[in-house]
Structure 1
Amino acid sequence: MAKMMDKYTVIQVYEMLKAEKSPKKVAEKLGVSLATLNAFRYDKQNKKQFDALKKADAKKEADKEMGLVIEDKPVVKTVNVSKEKDKRIEELENQNETLQRQIAELEKRVKDDEVAINDYSTRLNQYVEKHKKLDELISEKDDKIAELTQKREHNFGKSDIIESKDKEIKQLNDTLSRKNDEISRLKKKKDEVEVARKKATSELNERSRKYESLMKTATKDFEANQKEIKALKAKNAKHVNDAMEIDIMVRQIESEHAEKSLEQSNRIAELEKTVDDWKGKFYDLANAHSALEDEHETLTRKLDEGSLVTNISDFPIQIHPFTPNEAEITEISRNMGINPPSHYRAKDSGMDVIQFLESQMSAEAYKGFMIGNILKYATRTGRKDEEVKELDKIIDYAQRMKESIESGRLNGQ
């Protein structure tokens, strides 16, 4: 059994003892007795290696506690660390260990049978030697009987001598009879030993055939298991590589997400700035609306007094003639889909309401009116008319106010 430990190194046994914490369990795993394991552990040379490994582990733990060594633990962002494959590998290794134990048991039984056969052969040889000696002794007795018979014939008449010789012959015959019986028993025993030997030989041959068959099967299973373990390890390595690639991709996505988050933060800041600007415009619009209300009250009062001029040619102050580029306005209106209806145009002058308000209002009131309409269409975009039409109206109001400012008509009022 001690030879079974030759295939294990001190490091392997030390790692197993450190993991299991129980020498008895380790011995069961290795398929040896606890005494064999202890003999391996406390061998003079092996004990030195065990002590060195323990000192190295103790130093490593001390360095960890002092912070001199930092243990790196790889993080793999994957689902399923191949637990089923590891379980399968462990099952195959357990099967290999079981087969190795069975093979060791068969080898022991074969050795025991060989010892028994050798014992039977030795005992058979001893019986054969005894049989030869008995044959020699019987031959000697036969010679002695013949010699005594001759003497008896020669000394016929000597009754005392004859009687003595007869007794001696009788004793020799009794001895011969006993020896013959012993020879018969030895022959019978020899036959039994021969039958037992043949039976043992037959059983040994049968066991040898079974052992060879089992060895072939075990070898095939072991090779198949080794191939499967190799394939599983290759797949596991591929999964680890895939996990590393996924981790790189995740880091790239996180980096891109951070960049997008920064862009969105900048965009939010711009929008907040735009909101602040629109707040300022809203306050300007509120002032313009107040001025527009004042202007409306003035126009209402004039209408009530009958002093409002309804004919442009009779207007008491100098009004700059409003001569917009009709072709340009027509082209813009066609592109925008805006066609002001005829009922928005004055009867005498041909101007629409916006042109009329520009000629009648102050610059501040007109700007407030135009900005108010822009905000109105901007806030209701997509909730009343089609979005595109609402946006076209916003562009039309902005374009008209821009042309009025660029032409200087507002600055001239």
Structure 2
Amino acid sequence: MRKPFDEATGLNSLDLPGRPEETRVVVAMSGGVDSSVTAALLKEQGYDVVGITLQLYDHGEAVKRKGACCAGQDIHDARRVAELIGIPHYVLDYEERFRRSVMDDFASSYAAGETPIPCVRCNERVKFRDMLDTARDLGAAALATGHYIASRQGPNGRELHRPSDLDRDQSYFLFTTTRDQLDFLRFPLGDLTKPETRALAERMSLPVAQKPDSQDICFVPSGRYTTIIERLKPGAGEEGDIVDLEGRVLGHHKGIINYTIGQRRGLGLGASEPEAQPLFVVKLDPARRQVVVGPKSALETKRLILREVNWLGDGAFEALPAEGVDVMVRVRSSGGTVPARLRLLEKGAEVVFAEGQDGVAPGQACVFYDSVEESRVLGGGFIAEALRPNALAGEADARVMAAQ
């Protein structure tokens, strides 16, 4: 981090006017090492720090599991850190909001044959909306989080950038952040690596210094998301047929929520699957209760149709040139960026890949980055259609025409 206060500019290390001791910052404390170090660093620099932890779901079971975020143990750990560094700490019951905004959406999306990303919805609809409002109510000048991402002041306002530690890059989960939110949000760990963060936690004797990172969906304490979906969306696990690209029945399934695009194992087709032609899930059709399978070539995606596009680039999204703009895009949280062309449609946007991509599923995110340095996050959208010319070409082309 920068020095706490710059006499020349009158700005503190968070790019806010005034000295740290005159600046209240609310820190979202999840109970993990990253948010704990964020709070401790800001307190060490002299800021008026207030910690907030959200109770998002019934954590009675999850407290027994390691590797789950937002569990009961996390609330306890956040409270311990707050006491150690000497800041006020509040636990807010957002359980009902979280169920409506994130869990119900997750179940509905899966039942519709999509592959949802609940962490994006949580940031969009709970943490960066409701918690941000709470921070303002507490008189804070900023809400700080332990995400590995960076925000910088640009010529046209505050910009979102990938962090120094690309192995920890969380921009894929934060693409829905709005311009107004960016003005209020701060990410103090954007210039640190994970080892550096843990070293700081050790130096400050934080009790979570060696706590493992969360790895699972926080509201799935059993580790089986299908159980949660069936409870929230009764009937989502209805059985149906496994069919090939021509509609011929090859087998039977016990609910499309048990399958994802690109899945190869666990199809249970036995002798129906020729040894020379492995089959993969290429489409989930909830209306017909069908799992459609085909060869690997049928997974290749050339174009995407996006919905709920959030634009963070310069100017208005509607002002993009008709021919589109070159961008780098990311379609998986763990994947790299690939070149593509982004074009505005009457409803949403179209992304055309320079080279075909495999295993892209509706419901996932497509995040845009600048095509030169690949640092600035230009926004993103949710994948409504993944168009695969080698699978259902006629149907795909019809949907593109309808979207234009």
Fold equivalence (TM over 0.5) = no
The higher relative CO (CA closer than 8 Å, separation ≥ 6) is in 2
Larger Rg: 1
Decide which structure has greater strand share. 2
Q: Where on the TM-score scale, by shorter chain, does this alignment land: which range?
A: under 0.3
